[in-house]
Each structure stands twice: as structure tokens, then as C-alpha cells.
């Protein structure tokens, strides 16, 4: 087998199971066993990503047999049970609709006009309209609304070109020719009736990983799909394809030049991604935060020197002193972590910080000066908008640092340096522990930069001392989660909610609102508390809920004034606070009391009751908290 073999443990490898999460799931199998149960098991292990339909294609009795259905994988299993399928080679897919509504026709796998080629595809083909028009002009008949179907027709066109050369090499050539005319992102797996002993896969911007077994091979968008069968994997990079056979594989460039890839051996077990005693992955991941926060700062705090060590940044003290501006770019929850980081970096390191939506950054002409440092934050390290922002910043000459959870991800590889947050597997679509790990890294970075610049040893030591105690404080706080459950269940009929915070708690309010809307489908909005009187307060009435973040700080009296404004309009109020101020208790309908910690650490602690509040409220409303509607774990398309 070509290439070196590397072994990674759970922490240092940081669970490459999550590498390159995308909008849907691919599974392929080629071996000596019945492919169907293996493919179905693989699809089930990818359910956490979110999907609206599922399908499977196998080669049996000299034809491609396709079964697919809208809805859950269980619906697909019912169809297979009533019309048995077998075969030793097959591909399968869970689809999250981008082009065309969820329907039987639009579900993958897709075939060309003859039904002799089947493909599954993750990503978006941006030029599919022109390709489809051209293929129709050649007499090819389309059966779906999807962009993916053009791939099947293109491969079919190049394979069945009038010659009788139906070899693996010919299929490889046909796939190579097809993908060269595609614009956009894709991870694909291709099956051909007349080449029943091979699967061809290709990747550009959407993940694909090869699993190497004993006389059997696997191809998937996520190693979760086959981790119970093999621990030896190869990750395809962009612009690479792989020819998979029972007894081996060959990796090549899109131009079909042979390349050697390293084999990576995974040492963690499948039970690391099981729910265990928890009802949902989201609750499990909320409760894992004492450990993940500890893992995020483990080995990076230097108490004697009153500083932090982040060697992966590859920055000298001179480089840090020369930074005159930091630009943070991210999306969603990662953006909120960056916004918290802005407040803390400016406070401790005294460096001006801007935070920019990656989706906006990529489409304007950002000003990048020579001493600008760009921080790109992404859980998966594959977020399309953030990756595009990284590339734009690098094109303009900026030093770019990636802050990612997934080792070896594209953003991690393309950045000049960076920090892994070590949050481990995050299966729930609504991010929780990744956020607190990202904020942990933001605090470490602020301490590190601050100590090189103007931060005193005394202040840094105070933060570091309390930082090391924070996981235990959170463990103790989580013991009162049943009390938060009781409060959340009182508001099960709520349809409109404000989350209010000031200073570094404004982005925490945004994150609390995002969690609630993501999993409960309640209209929730976060605001800087003082902005209430500039318009939003018009919405407050006796049915409206406000979650007020009212921790002790120099601004607590102003926060109390905002609570009074809500109370005067008969709005319902849940206060999250570490204060014993009697006015907060008097004005609020419910209080969630949090422990007192250092001001810099409060955003981490304050977000946890918001996560629990959203979780329990969504469960009470009967929502699927791990797989909320219309959402996928990571967005690798625009």
C-alpha cells in the first residue's frame, strides 16, 4: 500500500471523523459482503448532518438497482425490505436539498439516459444550467430538477462514446473528462454497470475519504460511515480523484497523474460518537464542555510566566508588536465567538479588532494593510464563505491564522498558522462546545498578545488562575440543569424572544438567540441592550419573552434600567445573572443564577444556560434538536 501510515489519538487527531462536514452524505462500498446493509449502516451514521431524502444504488444481475425515498433512512429500509437488494458494490447518499425540492425524483443516486451510470454528489454545480441545455440539445433526457444529474449524463457521454472499451481505465477517463467541465464544488462517487468491480470518486471543495479494509474498500464523505470496519484512511485533497477496487486503490490528479497519499490510522473507537446515556447529542455536547474547555487550554497556559503559549501561530514577539489591526472573519456561531474575542483582545492586548461576516468579506474589496492579522474561525475548517475569505485575505498579502476544530481541514492547511480548539466530535447541528472552545482560544490569544505588549503580570495571573478552575465551576453549574429545564418548559408557547446583553455579552446574546431559533423555530433576536429603545421595544407585550444577561459589571445598573423598560411594558423576563441585586429578582419572572468568575471568563459561563434553555425548550416543543429542519452541520456551499 503506498504512502506512510500515521497514528493519531483522539485529542491530537481531534476526531477527523468531522473532517469536511458538508451538506449531505456519501457512502460507497466494494468488497466481498452484501453492500446493502453496510451502506445503510453508513447512512445512519451520517444522519446527524441533516437530510431530506436517501437512496442507494448497487450492481446486481448485470444492472444498476436503485432504491430511494423522501424522508428518513427508515423509509428507505422499508422499500428495500419489500424488494430485496444485494450486490457486492454500491453507493448511497443522504440529500439536503439545494437545487430542487425534496422529492423521489430529486433524491440521489442519479443516472444518465441509459441507466448504466449512477452517481452521488455533494456540493453545487454552478454551471449546471448551461451544461444541461447543451446535453439536452444532444438528445439526453433529464428526469430531475437537480444540478447533480448533469454529472451522470456527462460521465455517460464520455464513457459510452462509441468504443467498446469498457475498462476501469475508461471509466476513470470518463470521470476525469466530466469533472474538468464542472464549475462549483463537488464530492462524487460513480458506479458503472459495465465496470462492476470499481468505484471512481473525485473531490473539489467537498470532502471525500477512502477507507482501506481487508479485501474491501469504502468511500465516504465522513469516516463515521465506515469506522466500525476499518481505521485506515486516506483523505482526498481538492482536485484529486481515486479509483477504488476490491484489492486496492489508486489516487490521481484530475489530469490522471498518479500521486501518493499518506495512509492515516485512526485509533479512536465508534463509541466516541455515540449518545451514551443522553437523549440527544446536543445535551451530551453541552455537558462535555468542562472537558473540552480544559482540552482547549491544556498545555497552553504558562502560570509561572503569566502568559499563554500558542506555537502554531508561528509569530515572533516582534511580529506581535508590529500588529496594528486584527480582522476576524467567520460565519454563524464562529462569528459570535470572534465577536467575543474582539472585546477581550482589545481589552487585554490593546489591538484594534474588526469582525466581519465571511460571506460579506469575500464579495467586497477589504482593506488589508501590511500589519493586519486575519483570524479565520471555523469549526469544520471547511466553511465555504470562510475559506473564500481566507483566500481573499492571502491574495491581498495578509498573514492568516486559522482557528479550527478539525485537524487537517482545508482552512487549517491553507492558513499561515493557527490554533486547533480540540473540541472533539460535535454531532449536534447546533454548535455548543465548539463555541466555548473557540472563545477559550480567543482568551488565550488575548493573554498571549497582551503579555507581549502591555498586559501586566498581575492581571494575566488573575485570569489564568481562575481560568484553570473554570471547568470545575462549569461541572458544578451543570448539576442545576434540571432547574433550567423547569424554567424553559414554562415558555413552551413563546413565539417571539429577545436576548439582551452589553459589551462582551452582546455576542453571547446573539449566540443564545441563534441557538433558540435553530432548534426550537422560535423567532429569537439578540441585541445590544441599549438598542432596545431604538425600535425593537415596539414588539414587547405580555406575550413577548426577553432573556436578559445581567452579570455584575460596571454596566449592571444600565442593564437593570433596560430590564425595567421591558417590565413596564409587561414583557416576560428571564434574567441570567451572577448578581444578588434584589431589583433584578423583583423585575424578573425567572432567574437563572450563575457562579461568579473573572469578567473575561463570563461569556463562556453565561452561554451555557442559554444553550440549556434552548435545548429544553425545543425538546418541550417536540423538535428534533440534533437535526433541525433546513439546517446542515457545516455549510460548504454558498
Closest CA to 345 of 310, 389, 395: 310
| Torsion angles phi and psi, residue 101, rounded to 5 | -65, 160
575-604 as b/e: b if 16+ CB within 10 A: bbbbbebeebeebbebbbebeebbbbbbbb
**Residue 376, H or E segment:** strand 372-378
**Cis ω before 157 (30° cut-off from 0):** no
Q: How many CA atoms lie within 13 A of 593 on its CB side?
A: 10
Burial classification of residue 480, based on how many CB atoms lie within 10 Å of its CB (0-12 exposed, 13-18 middle, 19 or more buried)? middle
Q: Which residues have CB under 8 Å from 129's CB, separation 6+? A: none
What's the CA gap between 551 and 567, in Å, rounded? 18
Taking the C-alpha atoms of 214, 217, 220 and 223 in order, what is their torsion angle to the nearest 10 degrees? 10
- Name the nearest CA neighbour of 533 among 488, 570, 566, 573: 566
Instruction: Find out whether 590 and 465 touch, Cβ atoms under 8 Å.
Output: no
| Spatial strand order in the sheet of 496-501 | 523-528, 496-501, 545-549, 572-577, 590-593
How buried is 224 (Cβ within 10 angstroms: 0-12 exposed, 13-18 middle, 19+ buried)? buried
Dist CA 193 CA 54 (whole Å): 21
Q: Is 435 within 8 Å of 607 (Cβ atoms)? A: yes
Q: Element (H or E) spanning 5, and its range?
A: strand 5-8
Which residues participate in catalysis according to the annotation? 24, 633
The string of DSSP codes covering 412-460 is HHHSSEEEE-------SSS--HHHHHHHHHHHHHHHHHHHHTT--HHHH
Q: How far apart are CA 12 and CA 540, in angstroms?
A: 48
CA–centroid distance for 536 within its chain = 31
The CA–CA distances, whole Å, from 31 to 38, 217, 406, 577 equal: 11, 6, 30, 58
Helix-strand-coil percent breakdown of the chain, rounded to 5? 40, 25, 35
The two most distant CA atoms of the chain are separated, in Å, by 85
Task: For residue 118, give the 3-state DSSP assignment.
Answer: strand
From the CB of residue 233, how many other CB atoms can be counted at a distance below 10 Å? 23
Query: In the 3-class helix/strand/coil scheme, how is 216-285 assigned residue by residue?
Result: CEEEECCHHHCCCCCCEEEECCCCEEEEEECCEEEEEECCCCEECCCEEEECCCHHHHCCCCCCCHHHHH
**Gap between the Cα atoms of 202 and 196, Å rounded:** 18
User: DSSP assignment, residue 50?
Assistant: -
Amino acid at each position: 500500500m503506498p504512502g506512510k501510515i500515521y497514528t493519531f489519538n483522539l485529542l491530537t487527531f481531534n476526531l477527523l471523523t468531522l473532517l469536511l462536514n458538508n451538506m449531505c452524505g456519501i457512502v460507497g462500498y466494494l468488497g466481498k459482503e452484501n453492500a446493502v446493509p453496510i451502506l445503510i449502516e453508513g447512512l445512519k451514521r451520517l444522519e446527524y448532518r441533516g437530510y431530506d431524502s436517501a437512496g442507494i444504488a448497487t450492481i446486481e444481475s448485470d444492472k444498476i438497482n436503485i432504491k430511494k425515498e423522501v424522508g428518513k433512512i427508515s423509509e428507505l429500509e422499508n422499500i428495500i425490505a419489500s424488494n430485496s437488494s444485494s450486490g457486492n458494490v454500491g453507493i448511497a447518499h443522504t440529500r439536503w436539498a439545494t437545487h430542487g425540492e425534496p422529492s423521489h425524483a430529486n433524491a440521489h443516486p442519479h443516472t444518465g439516459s441509459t441507466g448504466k451510470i449512477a452517481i452521488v454528489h455533494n456540493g453545487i454545480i454552478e454551471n449546471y444550467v448551461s451544461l444541461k441545455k447543451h446535453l439536452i440539445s444532444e438528445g439526453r433526457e433529464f428526469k430531475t430538477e437537480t444540478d447533480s444529474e448533469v454529472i451522470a449524463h456527462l460521465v455517460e457521454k464520455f464513457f459510452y462514446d462509441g468504443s467498446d472499451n469498457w475498462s476501469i481505465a475508461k471509466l476513470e477517463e470518463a470521470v476525469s473528462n466530466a469533472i474538468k467541465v464542472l464549475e462549483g464544488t463537488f464530492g462524487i462517487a460513480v458506479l458503472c454497470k459495465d465496470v462492476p468491480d470499481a468505484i471512481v470518486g473525485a473531490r473539489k471543495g467537498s470532502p471525500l475519504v477512502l477507507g482501506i479494509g481487508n479485501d474491501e474498500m469504502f468511500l465516504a464523505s465522513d469516516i463515521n460511515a465506515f469506522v466500525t470496519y476499518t481505521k485506515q484512511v486516506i483523505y482526498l485533497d481538492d482536485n484529486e480523484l481515486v479509483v477504488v477496487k476490491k484489492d486496492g486503490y489508486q489516487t490521481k490528479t484530475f489530469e490522471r497523474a498518479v500521486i501518493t497519499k499518506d495512509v492515516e490510522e485512526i485509533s479512536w473507537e465508534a463509541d466516541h460518537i455515540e449518545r451514551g446515556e443522553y437523549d440527544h447529542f446536543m445535551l451530551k455536547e453541552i455537558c462535555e464542555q468542562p472537558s473540552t474547555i480544559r482540552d482547549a487550554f491544556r498545555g497552553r497556559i504558562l502560570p509561572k510566566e503569566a502568559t499563554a503559549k500558542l506555537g502554531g501561530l508561528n509569530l515572533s514577539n516582534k511580529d506581535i508588536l508590529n500588529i496594528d489591526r486584527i480582522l476576524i472573519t467567520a460565519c454563524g456561531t464562529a462569528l459570535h465567538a470572534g465577536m467575543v474575542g474582539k472585546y477581550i483582545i482589545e481589552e487585554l492586548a490593546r489591538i484594534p479588532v474588526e469582525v466581519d461576516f465571511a460571506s460579506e468579506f469575500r464579495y467586497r474589496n477589504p482593506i488589508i494593510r501590511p500589519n493586519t492579522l486575519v483570524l479565520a474561525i471555523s469549526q469544520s475548517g471547511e466553511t465555504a464563505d470562510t475559506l473564500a475569505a481566507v483566500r481573499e485575505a492571502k491574495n491581498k498579502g495578509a498573514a492568516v491564522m486559522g482557528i479550527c476544530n478539525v485537524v487537517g481541514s482545508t482552512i487549517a492547511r491553507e492558513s499561515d498558522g493557527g490554533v486547533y480548539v480540540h473540541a472533539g466530535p460535535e454531532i449536534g447541528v447546533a454548535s455548543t462546545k465548539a463555541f466555548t472552545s473557540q472563545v477559550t482560544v480567543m482568551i488565550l490569544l488575548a493573554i498571549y498578545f497582551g503579555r507581549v505588549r502591555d498586559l501586566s503580570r498581575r492581571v494575566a495571573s488573575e485570569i489564568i488562575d481562575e481560568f484553570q478552575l473554570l471547568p470545575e465551576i462549569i461541572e458544578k453549574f451543570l448539576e442545576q440543569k434540571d432547574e433550567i429545564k423547569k424554567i424553559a418548559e414554562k415558555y413552551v408557547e413563546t413565539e417571539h424572544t429577545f436576548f439582551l446583553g452589553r459589551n462582551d455579552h452582546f455576542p453571547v446574546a446573539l449566540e443564545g438567540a441563534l441557538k433558540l431559533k435553530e432548534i426550537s423555530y422560535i423567532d429569537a433576536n439578540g441585541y445590544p441592550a441599549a438598542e432596545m429603545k431604538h425600535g425593537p421595544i415596539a414588539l414587547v407585550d405580555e406575550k413577548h419573552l426577553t432573556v436578559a444577561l445581567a452579570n455584575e459589571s460596571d454596566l449592571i445598573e444600565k442593564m437593570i434600567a433596560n430590564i425595567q423598560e421591558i417590565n413596564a411594558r409587561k414583557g416576560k423576563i428571564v434574567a441570567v445573572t451572577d448578581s444578588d441585586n434584589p431589583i433584578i429578582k423583583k423585575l424578573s419572572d425567572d432567574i437563572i443564577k450563575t457562579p461568579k468568575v473573572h469578567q473575561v471568563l463570563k461569556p463562556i459561563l453565561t452561554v451555557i444556560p442559554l444553550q440549556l434553555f434552548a435545548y429544553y425548550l425545543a425538546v418541550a416543543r417536540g423538535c428534533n434538536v440534533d437535526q433541525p429542519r433546513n439546517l446542515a452541520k457545516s455549510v460548504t456551499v454558498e
